[in-house]
Amino acid sequence: MLDVQEAQNIVLQHTPPGRAVTLPLESAPDHYLAVDVIADMDVPPFDRAAMDGYALRAEDVQATPAFLEVIGESPAGLVPTFTIGHGQAARIMTGAVVPAGADAVQMVEKTEAGEAERRVRVLMPVGVGDNITRRGVEVRRGQKVLTAGRYLGAGEIAVLAMFGHVSVLVWQKPTVAVLATGDELVEPCENPKPGQIRNSNSYALAAQLRTVGLQATRLTVAKDTKADLRMRIVEGLAYDLLLLTGGVSMGKYDLVEEILAELGIAVFFDHVAIKPGKPVVFGRKGDGLIFGLPGNPVSSYVTFECLVRPALLKWMGGPTDALLMVTGELENRIKQKPGRMAFLPAWSVWDHGRWSVKVLPSKGSADIVAFSLANSLFVFPKDRTVYEPGDPVSVLLLDDFFRRRRATGL
């Protein structure tokens, strides 16, 4: 059976790089940049005042207090037409152009305006260049300011705006459909009849997709009949990614693989040595990817994190090693049967300079209520059987780790 790492590699190998698309700047956040961005001007584009105060010649204020004649004003947005001579100064505002002749700005707090604002008393000396940001010291025209592949957060968006990019070439996000399968499933708004349960996986997967900025389409739940399942799968193949849940294990009505085969979809694996989640299918049709995740809610969640998330990140031009793995110290004793890499719900905290990891009690792969208390997944390597308190362990921090609060009273 494939290891989790091997399965991840197969998934990544078959994940096509996304298509580049031009988006308006407002729509570009949370995408990855597909081109380098070059500065179209110097920054600052002129010698810029860093303070509100007076533009002056430093040599005139070496002995203080010094009295200077105020010959004008340089507000932000205008280019001053006067030149500062000996014994002269001009009021200047932060972000304004430093007038010719001036070589320093003294901040207003270190001055006293004289009568009729025609004179100023400078109380403290300044050095040449003080409180002036010279043209081009931050960025030179022609310089590369963003490289292809950069994630577009608020800082990068500011850079794009600064250099006049009203639209930008980024990697397009895939379209994704989620398809739950099973005769026992009813929608959350319904009251399950005997033998039925509510479909939670479609909603959970859509929520996981949102953490990578994707708005999934939830398809109508497929029945466990070949005709209905086939119809829904065909519908789902119109999307870049189709995530199925359920119907991939060994039961008589686990029909997903059979129908994928009938539809000519190449399947690269249908089992991974992962716990929970052993039956997990990955296939490809053209540039479209198909995942058949197990039906148990925890298995669906975990296999998404281990296999689907890296594929989505690659598709969107992002880093594929972005699973947040940290090394910590285990709090409780924990055992398992060897053979599969296990992912167990855990609560991890950064405590006195180390990660402290507590594995949470759980009844297994269907127990999403217990699992929902986790902020991280304790990774139990497949060949190991026991961990003692204090042992160093690996944990995968969930994508919403930093937004989670420890639930109490459950």
Interface contacts to ligand AMP, rule CB under 6 A = 180, 182, 184-185, 197, 199-202, 245-249, 251, 254, 294-297
CA distance 150 to 251: 45
CA distance 308 to 7: 11
- CA-CA distances (angstroms) from residue 349 to 120, 301, 328? 57, 21, 9
292 binds Mg ion (CB under 5 A): no
Report the nearest approach of ligand AMP to the CB of residue 189 (Å): 14
Q: Which amino acid is at 190?
A: E
What binding mask, one character per residue, do residues 391-410 give for Mg ion by CB under 5 A, x or -? --------------------
Q: Which is nearer to ligand AMP, 137 or 197 (CB)?
A: 197
Q: Which is nearer to ligand AMP, 191 or 408 (CB)?
A: 191
Contact partner, 97, from ligand AMP, Mg ion, none, Cβ < 5-8 Å per class: none
Q: Which is nearer to ligand AMP, 226 or 333 (CB)?
A: 226
What binding mask, one character per residue, do residues 156-195 give for Mg ion by CB under 5 A, x or -? --------------------------x-------------
Q: What are the backbone dihedrals phi and psi of residue 321, each rounded to the nearest 5 degrees, phi first?
A: -100, 30
Strand partners of residue 97: 48
Q: Which is nearer to ligand AMP, 53 or 297 (CB)?
A: 297
Q: Which is nearer to ligand AMP, 200 or 394 (CB)?
A: 200
Q: How many residues bind Mg ion (CB under 5 A)?
A: 4
Residue pair 380/409 in contact by the 8 Å Cβ criterion: no
Helix (H) or strand (E) holding 295: none
Contact partner, 28, from Mg ion, ligand AMP, none, Cβ < 5-8 Å per class: none
Q: Which is nearer to ligand AMP, 294 or 345 (CB)?
A: 294
Report the nearest approach of Mg ion to the CB of residue 263 (Å): 19
Q: Cβ atoms within 10 A of the Cβ of 322, count? A: 14
Q: Which is nearer to ligand AMP, 200 or 211 (CB)?
A: 200
* DSSP-based helix, strand, coil % in the chain, nearest 5: 20, 30, 45
CA distance 37 to 9: 31
What binding mask, one character per residue, do residues 218-257 give for Mg ion by CB under 5 A, x or -? ----------------------------xx----------
Q: Which is nearer to Mg ion, 174 or 292 (CB)?
A: 292
**Residue 71, SS3?**
strand
Q: What are the backbone dihedrals phi and psi of residue 289, each rounded to the nearest 5 degrees, phi first?
A: -110, 145
CA distance 124 to 133: 20
**Residue 287, SS3?**
coil
> Where do the DSSP E strands lie in 75-114?
88-92, 104-107, 111-113
Report the nearest approach of ligand AMP to the CB of residue 169 (Å): 38
What's the N-to-C CA distance of the chain in angstroms?
Answer: 37
CA distance 385 to 336: 5
Burial class (CB in 10 A: 0-12, 13-18, 19+), 268: middle
Q: Which is nearer to ligand AMP, 133 or 296 (CB)?
A: 296
Contact partner, 375, from ligand AMP, Mg ion, none, Cβ < 5-8 Å per class: none
Structure tokens that stand for 297 in this block: 């809610």
Report the nearest approach of ligand AMP to the CB of residue 313 (Å): 24
Strand partners of residue 343: 379
Report the nearest approach of ligand AMP to the CB of residue 248 (Å): 6
Residue nearest to ligand AMP (CB): 295
User: Which window, 213-221, 269-277, 289-297, 325-333, contacts Mg ion (CB under 5 A)?
Assistant: 289-297
Report the nearest approach of ligand AMP to the CB of residue 245 (Å): 5
Report the nearest approach of Mg ion to the CB of residue 11 (Å): 23
Interacting residues with Mg ion (CB under 5 A): 182, 246-247, 295
